[in-house]
Amino acid sequence: MKLPTLRIYTIAYLIFLYAPIIILPIFAFNNSTAVAFPLQGFTTQWFGQVWADPALREALKNSLIVAVSTSVLSTFFGILAARASTRYSFPGSGPVLGLIMLPMVLPEMIMAMALLVVFLSVGIPLSLFTIILGDVLICTPFAVAILTSAFQSLDRSLEEAAQDLGEGPFSTFYLVILPLVMPGIISATLICFTISIDEFIIANFLGSGQKLLSTYIFGQLRFPKNVPNIMALGTILVGVSIALLSLAEFFRRRGIAKTGAKDTGGFL
Amino acid sequence: MSEPFPRNRFWVSEAASGLALISPTAIFAILLLAAPLATTLLYSVFTDGYLTVIPQFQICNYIGECHSRLADGSVEPQAYLGAWSDPVVLSLMQRSLFVSVLVTATTVLLAYPVAYFVSFNVEASRKSLWLFLITIPFWTSYVIRVFMWNVMISRTGVINSALEGLHIISDPLQMSFTIQAMVVTLAHAYAPFAILPIYVALEKIDRSLLEAGQDLGETRFTTFLRVTLPLSMTGVIAAVLIVFIPVIGDYITPNLIGGGKIPMIANMIEKQMLKADNRPLGSAIAVSAMLVVGLVSVLFLFLNRRYLRAQK
Amino acid sequence: MTVTTDKPTMIEFRDVHKYYGDYHALRGINATIKAGEFFSLLGPSGCGKTTLLRTIAGFEGISSGVVLIDGKDVAGIPPNNRPTNMVFQSYAIFPHLTVEQNVGFGLRKDPRSKEDKARAVDEALAMVGLSGYGKRAAHALSGGQRQRVALARALILKPKVLLLDEPLSALDKKLRENMQVELIKLQRQVGITFILVTHDQEEALVMSDRIAVMFEGEIAQLDDPETLYRLPKTRAVANFIGTMNFLPAKIIAEGAGKVEVEAQGFGRVILDEQKQVTGQTSPGGCTIGFRPETATILFEGQNAPDRESMATVEEVVYYGDMTYYDVRLDGTSEPMRLSMRNTFGRPVLDIGTRARIGWSPGALVMFR
């Protein structure tokens, strides 16, 4: 089936996938509040307005606090779970891992509502902290998935060799294991950061009204005159996301090159 | 032979280290996932009070008529219907299922050729680049992507204005607030979820099997039907599951693309939990949704098992 | 390849048992390995040879028994504190480090100066023939080079015992044969105990001073290569090391260090109890065994060195320098394998040919 139709189809599909992302910057620089053709000329005023908006700065600050905390915590939890599941065999590892990975396949709304109910009944006040807890829950499975493949590609005998050559468990970890899985750790951190920045449902329902970037954007959508601002902001966010992902991909590949392993593709 | 005394010492310590290492993550998941889900299950059989939940067992949040309690503890005269008795909830559930099935079918059908192309027609060294290209849009803000679809399909939006400018149409097309628009948006949002599992399944197929198929007299197309497609079914089933589950619980798309006019089950859960403050009913709907998701998953996992067995 | 019994003991196993859950991996290992000996653990996969090696290194605990290294019970001592170093089957070269850093990995806590350590690394690399490779990235090395790095990395720590876990199995045939010779030379040069795990009987025979043949968690026989080959204790050992033909036999008479047996196809023979009888005494039937190269097809004009029997050629496998014949001796039911060197002028026989087989009672082994 080496037909050019397949290639053409795939490229058409990629255009469909990228359409919203490509349209975004076009209208972010368009000198009109109406998002429609024909284009009205080049402007950077929307970016200026975005920069000048104090509510947005607040949202950005909150989002950064949440995303940084989430990525660090999720990666930490991910390291523990991935290391435990790849290195040790222990009773109940299947169900435990299943529970940890469950958020990947549960509708987010259900998780958010269940968490909300518990926070309210236990008396934990909603805040950025509760958003972080929810985000960590969502991100940890992704971190575990990435780190598991990083830890799996580690040859067990490397660890034994380090021990055989006189290193204890702790120095073996930081001299051998850590350098080899570091690319995985970095890429897990970046992915979790990206997920957390984009996350809407948790931010909307588990916060106490502080705006994050995603909820701020969602709120602005009701006002048509703010639409170009959102497009400018969206352009920045998409640009940052792509930059972070490229970085993550770079580290993932470097990790593969370092260990001389075969590239099996993608993050997931 | 005498019983060696510390027979299982090594394994005990191995198990202990593993459990100790995974325990922080596991405890976190138990506290923030297992416990909340259990609470939801519990709430769904409790009685709704004024701004609170009364631990009094009843099944009417699922079936039949239910009464909330007022602030003074008395029974509210007006009844509400349980999740499975309320035609509104049922129709929303039906719509969610319908939309999910439609989205899943669209997404998987559209994704298969792409996965096939990357697996079979792209050089090995460029595969991960293609996969990276396919996954990038997925990692950018969901809210922004949904919003962009809204902007593109609205009455005065990008597509209509472009088509009018090119004199292809004279009157704008009505695309917003339709189920079709929701399906397109969701199919876009979950595309990589479908492509990756199918791609992985296709990659695992031993290429010599295809040559064997042709050697045994099949054409390329019949080889695809008789060898490649059956062998990639596990990936297709995984793709179906992994798209279906999040779509059925999607909240943003019905809200933005449907303009709130075409709510799905997640919007109903939100409404009962927050705006109507009927947490037992909200919990019952949530549990029902999870049951539906669970049933569909079990069905497909069963299918998957059959395919796996057929391969052995 | 003679065993020098006066050498001190380096490693001793006393009734070592090892369980994985319910699986009995080592079933009462008793053995001593001498200082400076090239010792091999030989057996099929799953026989426990690697497990036994790893109990020396300290990667596996044992369920009962004692392991002594240089006279010291090593129970509870972690691998990093044992006077042993290991060459791993996968070589376990640290992929994030250079060759130099790999070789010098174990010197981190060494109190010597940086320059001295660097000199030690250079010497170790020179010893394995890798001078000048120090700056290379480890993952860019070939299989044979990796193995040399692994050797240098282990030997630089001057262990009392070097453990080698199937170190040659990943190499191709030519390279493997070269490395076998190099390993023997290296062992003579450094003079420490080498313990090699292998499933390749030829490799074990070529390299070892002594070999322990293991089956199913037990040592079936521990001997020098020649004894193992000439006088295997069981039919399993005889079959694992080379090929042996077996003929059913009956004991006719016994006494004064001699045994007279009646063997199918060979008739009556008298064997030396000391040199030719092996295995434990069991009443009734016994088996006579002989190696393919100890009997010969007598071509025209050749006379039997000792005894002669008639047989029919049933299968011919031509190997170039050798031809293997499956011949059935008159009066027997199973064919015997014979190996004949294809010297000049000697024909290759066809299937179905009648042939005279020449053999000698001195080359037979009797299993009780």
Q: Is A187 on the interface with B (CB under 8 A)?
A: no
Say if residue B60 is in the same domain as residue B103. no
Average pLDDT, integer, range A35-54: 81
Which of B49, B81, B113 is the endpoint of a domain? B81
pLDDT digits (tens, 9 = 90+) for A90-124: 888 889 999 999 988 788 888 998 999 889 888 89
Q: Is residue A203 domain-resident?
A: yes
Which of B81, B106, B127 is the endpoint of a domain? B81
- What pairing do the DSSP bridges indicate for beta strands C336-341 and C210-215? unpaired
Which CATH architecture does the domain made up of C9-238 adopt? 3-Layer(aba) Sandwich (3.40)
Nearest by CB to residue C17, choosing from B4, B9, B10, is B4
Q: Is B295 on the interface with A (CB under 8 A)?
A: no
- What pairing do the DSSP bridges indicate for beta strands C193-198 and C161-165? parallel
Q: Which of B 9-38 lie inside 8 A of C, CB atoms?
A: 9-11
Say if residue B304 is in the same domain as residue B165. yes
Task: Give yes or no for residue C3 having a pLDDT over 70.
Answer: no
Average pLDDT, integer, range B4-26: 70
The chains found to touch C (3+ Cβ pairs under 8 angstroms) are A, B
Say if residue B210 is in the same domain as residue B115. yes
Cβ distance A158 to C94 less than 8 Å, yes or no, reads yes
Distance CA(A116)–CA(A130), nearest Å, equals: 9
Those residues whose C-beta lies under 8 Å from the C-beta of residue A224, and which sit 6 or more positions away, are: A33
Say if residue B289 is in the same domain as residue B153. yes
Domain boundaries, chain C: 9-238, 245-367
- Domain covering C245-367 in this structure, CATH number: 2.40.50.140
Nearest by CB to residue B4, choosing from C20, C60, C63, is C63
A255 to chain C, closest Cα gap in Å: 9
pLDDT digits (tens, 9 = 90+) for B152-173: 887 777 788 888 878 778 777 7
Distance CA(A73)–CA(A62), nearest Å, equals: 17
The pLDDT of residue B311: 56
Do C366 and C259 meet the contact criterion of CB atoms below 8 Å apart?
yes
Q: Which of A 154-183 lie inside 8 A of B, CB atoms?
A: none
Instruction: Extract the tokens encoding B264.
Output: 């799905």
Q: Is A158 on the interface with C (CB under 8 A)?
A: yes
The pLDDT of residue A263: 52
Distance CA(C40)–CA(C1), nearest Å, equals: 13
Say if residue B104 is in the same domain as residue B74. no
User: Cα-flanking dihedrals φ and ψ of residue C357, to 5°?
Assistant: -110, 125
Domain with A193, as residue range(s), is: 53-259
Which CATH number do you get for residue A208? 1.10.3720.10
For B6, name the nearest residue in chain C, comparing CA atoms only.
C63
In this structure, the number of other CB atoms found within 10 A of the CB of residue B303 comes to 16
pLDDT digits (tens, 9 = 90+) for A194-205: 889 888 999 999
Instruction: Count up the domains in chain B and report the number.
Output: 2
pLDDT digits (tens, 9 = 90+) for C25-54: 999 999 999 999 999 999 999 999 999 999
State chain C's mean pLDDT as an integer. Answer: 90
Say if residue B243 is in the same domain as residue B217. yes
Domain with B166, as residue range(s), is: 87-311
Cβ distance A157 to C139 less than 8 Å, yes or no, reads no
Q: Is A89 on the interface with C (CB under 8 A)?
A: no
Say if residue B129 is in the same domain as residue B274. yes
* Residue A157 with chain C: CB contacts under 8 Å: 88-90, 92
What confidence category does residue A230 fall into, taking pLDDT thresholds of 50, 70 and 90? confident
Do C29 and C66 meet the contact criterion of CB atoms below 8 Å apart?
no
Q: Is residue A28 domain-resident?
A: no
Q: Is residue A167 domain-resident?
A: yes
- Cite the DSSP H helix spans in B140-228: 142-153, 158-165, 179-189, 191-203, 207-215, 220-223
Which CATH number do you get for residue B214? 1.10.3720.10
Task: Give yes or no for residue B130 having a pLDDT over 80.
Answer: yes
Would you say the pTM of this structure is higher than 0.90?
A: no
Do A206 and A130 meet the contact criterion of CB atoms below 8 Å apart?
yes
Cβ distance A258 to C78 less than 8 Å, yes or no, reads no
A242 to chain C, closest Cα gap in Å: 28
The pLDDT of residue B162: 81
Most confident of A238-247, B275-284, C113-122: C113-122
Q: Is residue B217 domain-resident?
A: yes
Cβ distance C19 to B1 less than 8 Å, yes or no, reads no
Q: Is residue B37 domain-resident?
A: yes
Average pLDDT, integer, range B81-105: 89
Residue of B142, B185, B149 lying closest to A241 (CA atoms): B142
Say if residue B40 is in the same domain as residue B131. no
* Residue C109 with chain A: CB contacts under 8 Å: 166
Say if residue B28 is in the same domain as residue B93. no
Task: Give yes or no for residue C121 having a pLDDT over 60.
Answer: yes
What confidence category does residue A261 fall into, taking pLDDT thresholds of 50, 70 and 90? low
Say if residue B59 is in the same domain as residue B169. no
pLDDT digits (tens, 9 = 90+) for B42-71: 998 888 887 788 888 888 888 888 888 887
Say if residue B164 is in the same domain as residue B209. yes
What ipTM, to 2 d.p.? 0.83
Average pLDDT, integer, range B222-227: 84
Do A112 and A206 meet the contact criterion of CB atoms below 8 Å apart?
yes
Q: Is B294 on the interface with A (CB under 8 A)?
A: no
Say if residue B240 is in the same domain as residue B157. yes
State chain B's mean pLDDT as an integer. Answer: 83
Q: Is B237 on the interface with A (CB under 8 A)?
A: no
Instruction: Count up the domains in chain A and report the number.
Output: 1
pLDDT digits (tens, 9 = 90+) for A152-177: 888 889 999 999 998 988 899 889 99
Task: Give yes or no for residue B9 having a pLDDT over 70.
Answer: no
Distance CA(B249)–CA(B269), nearest Å, equals: 10
Q: Is residue B59 domain-resident?
A: yes
Percent of chain C clearing pLDDT 90 (strictly above): 61
pLDDT digits (tens, 9 = 90+) for C249-292: 888 888 888 889 999 889 899 988 888 887 766 666 788 999 99
B72 to chain A, closest Cα gap in Å: 20
State chain A's mean pLDDT as an integer. Answer: 86
- Identity at B310, one-letter amino acid code: A
The pLDDT of residue C215: 95
Q: Do you find a cis peptide bond into C225, omega within 30 degrees of 0?
A: no
* Residue C17 with chain B: CB contacts under 8 Å: 1, 4
Cβ distance C28 to B1 less than 8 Å, yes or no, reads yes
A253 to chain C, closest Cα gap in Å: 14
Q: Is residue A40 domain-resident?
A: no
Q: Which of B 106-125 lie inside 8 A of A, CB atoms?
A: 110, 113-114, 116-118, 120-121
